[in-house]
Structure 1
Amino acid sequence: MNGQGRVSPGSAAPAEERGCSWLNVWVFLIFALAVKAAFVALCLWLVVPFCHSSDQPSALQQQFSQWECDSAVPQGTDGGWTCCPKGWKRFQGSCYFLSSDTMSWSESAQNCGGMGSQLVVISSKAEQDFLSEQIKQSKEPKPDNFYIGLFAEKEGQWQWVDKTPYNETATFWREGEPNFLTGENCTVMHVHTKPPNNWNDISSSLKNHRICEAAAVIV
């Protein structure tokens, strides 16, 4: 015979003991969910500033850790912020870098590519006006020329670095340019020429400043 207050091995546990067991399970589940939520929030906080649409150059993300963002997003996008690397200028959906040092045209193209960008391709008067204003504001000593992404492999056969078709009616050459002097197969924007017509053809071996362009990052 079992003594009072004792439960045989095959008997059910008291109701209060079963209640405590279920309470422990619920406490554990709530704790686990809270930890998971905190982990997801941490991941989003770390990752979101560097997420961008799949058509953005990944090298741009890899090269820069500091970004400047605003909430003015291009029409038709779902993102809430438009971002450029710190120190770059934004216009519409693009970021622009105006260099303070000088290189040849091929070195300039390579340098832009190393930053996940390209020498600028100018596709509208609005973009031309924006860039003309930016080069006017360049710091002292005042530079003369900025390379852009327009070149000619053969005399007179101009093309853009991204294969955008060359449209002669949408160009901004200085009066009398391009003049096709020997070796003048690349294009610069000339700081001291009144815009918008400030393009000049020069030799690719000359060292000049450069304008790099990359698509803005939408987050």
Structure 2
Amino acid sequence: MKCESNLTETLSKIKSCSTVQPTCPGPKVIDDPCYKCEAGWELHGGKCYYFSNNKSSWNKSRDECRAKGGDLVKIDSREEQSFLERRLRDVMTRDEDKFWIGLTDSAAEGRWVWVDGSSLDQSLKFWSRNEPDNWKGHNGEHPDGEDCARMGAKGGADDCWFDAFCSKPHRSICEKAGVKGQIKNVCD
């Protein structure tokens, strides 16, 4: 009789073990379909955006973006432009806040090129009225004119790109690709 009860006990242990086993294959890593951004960056459309607070020249702003693993923003669609306009209204603290974007004609006057080397798409340009005007300053003190693009208008004017002197200190918008995360599923 004792032997039988031992057997029953052992069988019940095996049975409970086998019910636990299939639900817990051990730790496995599964791809998370969501894009992630680092702290301080904002996610939109699979890309991460960083709105700087400090003001620098266009070149220095670009260096700062690249040091963070990105570059000055390249605007690929009307939807992206609208998103940035909306966000700037929130992050601008003063009327004079303007933000560098990754667009310049410093290599050849009038040929606007993005930081990735692509030319400005003529159907996707958002210049303010009468811009770009390549202004040379009140007394022509900037003979090269305005070669870098900025955006930002506290009033929220649409199509708010302006050309400006690249040396002028402005805030900037950095962009980099979002990263798809991985979740580690660990069973207890």
* TM bracket, shorter-chain basis: 0.7 to 0.9
The runs of 4+ residues in structure 1 deviating greater than 6 Å are: none
Do the aligned partners of 2:94 and 2:154 also contact (CA within 8 Å) in 1?
A: no
Find out whether 1:166 has 2:120 as its counterpart. Answer: yes
Residue of structure 2 equivalent to 1:185: 147
Helix, strand or coil: the match of 2:134?
coil
Aligned counterparts of 2:47 and 2:62: Cα–Cα separation in 1: 17
Aligned counterparts of 2:122 and 2:34: Cα–Cα separation in 1: 35
Question: C-alpha deviations, 1:117-164, integer Å up to 9, x for none?
Answer: 000000101000000011100153455210000001221011000122
Structure ranking higher on relative contact order (CA contacts 8 Å, 6+ apart): 2
- Listed as ranges, the matches of 1:73-92 within 5 Å are 79-92=32-45
Do the aligned partners of 1:143 and 1:209 also contact (CA within 8 Å) in 2?
A: no
> TM-score w.r.t. structure 1 length?
0.62
Structure 1 pair 133–174 and aligned structure 2 pair: CA distance change class (3 A) = same
Question: C-alpha deviations, 1:93-133, integer Å up to 9, x for none?
Answer: 10000011100000000000000000000010100000001
> TM-score w.r.t. structure 2 length?
0.72
Structure 2 regions of 5+ residues with no counterpart?
A: 1-25, 137-144, 182-188
Do the aligned partners of 1:129 and 1:195 also contact (CA within 8 Å) in 2?
A: no
Aligned AA (1:209): R
Aligned counterparts of 1:208 and 1:108: Cα–Cα separation in 2: 8
Structure 1 pair 135–187 and aligned structure 2 pair: CA distance change class (3 A) = same
Structure 1 pair 212–169 and aligned structure 2 pair: CA distance change class (3 A) = same
Aligned counterparts of 2:96 and 2:38: Cα–Cα separation in 1: 23
Do the aligned partners of 1:104 and 1:208 also contact (CA within 8 Å) in 2?
A: yes
Residue of structure 1 equivalent to 2:50: 97
Residue of structure 1 equivalent to 2:109: 155
Aligned counterparts of 1:186 and 1:141: Cα–Cα separation in 2: 21
Q: Shift of the alpha carbon at 1:79?
A: 4.0
Do the aligned partners of 2:134 and 2:163 also contact (CA within 8 Å) in 1?
A: yes
Aligned AA (2:120): Y
- Number of positions where the alignment pairs a residue of Structure 1 with one of Structure 2: 149
Helix, strand or coil: the match of 1:213?
strand
Calculate percent identity across the aligned residue pairs. Answer: 33
Structure 1 regions of 5+ residues with no counterpart?
A: 1-39, 49-77
